[in-house]
Structure 1
């Protein structure tokens, strides 16, 4: 294999971070909840819908925010979280690139 082909080291590092963030089933569920809600939600709203406590929800949201799957927006004294709309396009394209199926 020619080392000039395939994913760049930077893309491979970024994609690995994305999959690491999704390696926890609860984070997958949180991302799904936010995607289906189609609106920003507070940690309190999210906690009401999940079988885990607020500190754990906050920690999972932090991991998802670090890889930009979710975005946070401060409104007054609360923070609202929403799915990063760019992920709806970037993540499937990343999976295609990893599998060698360029769009």
Structure 2
């Protein structure tokens, strides 16, 4: 165990700030559910479609999507006059790597 800690990379201030932002964005259970919905669907979804699938109103869905988009967990795609949102596939690699870095694992 000691050897693993010796090989862990240093957690920079920038990394710590980024990771804290990610966890803050996931600090709301509805945002976790929303991200799960986007990931499960595996395709861009319109706000109205998301609203139909979750027990919250459109303005709340839009707010949660804005928070998730700010940390790049959700990516907006322009579709005519509105946006559709898809999960950022890079999160599948980046988020587990962040957890390992926070825990001091290589």
Range class of TM-score, shorter chain: over 0.9
Which residue of structure 2 lines up, in the alignment, with residue 55 of structure 1?
59
Q: TM-score, normalised by structure 2?
A: 0.90
Residue 87 of structure 1: how far off its partner (Å): 0.7
CA distance in 1, matches of 2:82, 2:94: 28
Residue 101 of structure 1: how far off its partner (Å): 1.1
Pairing 1:81-100 to 2, within 5 Å after superposition: 81-100=85-104
CA distance in 2, matches of 1:39, 1:101: 33
Q: Which structure is richer in relative contact order (CA contacts within 8 A, separation 6 or more)?
A: 2
Deviations 1:26-74 (A, max 9, x none): 0000000000000000000000000000000000000000000000011
CA distance in 1, matches of 2:104, 2:11: 9
Unaligned runs of 5+ in 1: none
Which residue of structure 2 lines up, in the alignment, with residue 77 of structure 1?
81
Extract structure 1 runs of 4+ deviating beyond 4 A: none
CA distance in 1, matches of 2:81, 2:72: 22
